[in-house]
A and B are shown apart, each in its own frame.
Chain A
Amino acid sequence: MSQALKVSLTRRYRFAASHRLFRPNFSEGENQRIYGKCSNPYGHGHNYSLEVTVSGTVDPATGMIANLGDLDPFVDREVVQAFDQKYLNQEVSEFREAVPTAENICREIYRRLKPFPPARLERVRLQETSNNSFEFDGEIGERDERAPQGTGQP
């Protein structure tokens, strides 16, 4: 009996969007201290790169975990069309409440993609710039209850 293998497939998508990191219930000084230049009032944007990883059984008839003919239009409809060339704070309803940090965008993308029918969503990885990236696999850890530590860095 040969060793059981686990196979996953990762596909990259891209979207460009603007956002502003601020909390309306914080003072301007507090927003500046916590979010730094990411809190500038007119917002700013990024070219986001999104990696979507799915796993599951490789169908012997197709050789595929998921047909890109299904995955691509699903991600396009659920995420790319909704986020691309948008001001996330105002044009994506979830970010009228939640601050559109890459962490929160990552979780929102995971929530939107989780129902993809033919395969199991393993992970989403969101690259905001070439220097920072964020991953979410659906696991909720314990929240760090310490006060937010503003770094002033976007």
Chain B
Amino acid sequence: MIRVTRKIEFSAAHFYHNPSFSAEENRRVFGKCNNPHGHGHNYVLEVTVAGEPDPDTGMVLDLKELKDILQREVGERMDHRHLNYEVPELAGQIPTCENIAQVIWRLLEPKIAKGKLDRVRLWESPDLYADCTAQSSGEGV
């Protein structure tokens, strides 16, 4: 099996706020990420697809096609957007790296026609990323 990884970048704003917490609790749990005016990141998304290369083309999947999927599903939804207000898939969720990575997985997984989505890695900064993979059967969290 071969794993193919494609990267795209997008820039977006967010802040962390749970409406069921008091103002004080929001500040305590989320710290400066609770600033209601929000702040932003240059996110780097690495998407890995696993599969066997097609004997005719030598490719697991056409990377141009994968790039178009990433652009359409993620870039157009999230680039230069405010994740709290402008991305319906994140409505009602705190837009953390962990949650955004899961939303991206669920957006991409049905669109990958050749090979299988293997991993979504979302970098929020050079020092922080979340990985999302399918849970293998019998694996507890």
Binding site for B on A (CB under 8 A): 2-13, 53, 55-58, 60-65, 67-69
User: Do residues A5 and B133 form an inter-chain contact, with CB atoms below 8 A?
Assistant: yes
Known: A6-B135, A7-B130, A8-B131. A63 touches B141 (CB 8 A): no
10 A-B pairs in the complex with CB atoms less than 8 angstroms apart: A5-B135, A6-B141, A7-B98, A9-B128, A10-B128, A11-B127, A61-B21, A62-B30, A63-B95, A64-B98
Q: A12: which B residues are within 8 A, CB to CB?
A: 126-128
Chain A nearest CB from B119 CB (Å) reads 10
CA–CA, A5 and B141, complex, Å: 9
Q: Add 13 more A-B contacts to A2-B106, A5-B134, A64-B96 (CB < 8 A).
A: A5-B105, A6-B141, A7-B98, A7-B130, A9-B97, A9-B98, A12-B126, A57-B141, A58-B96, A62-B29, A63-B93, A65-B98, A68-B128
Q: B135: which A residues are within 8 A, CB to CB?
A: 3-6
Q: Which residue, A6, A11, A55, A68, has most C-beta atoms of chain B within 10 A?
A: A6
Chain B nearest CB from A59 CB (Å) reads 9
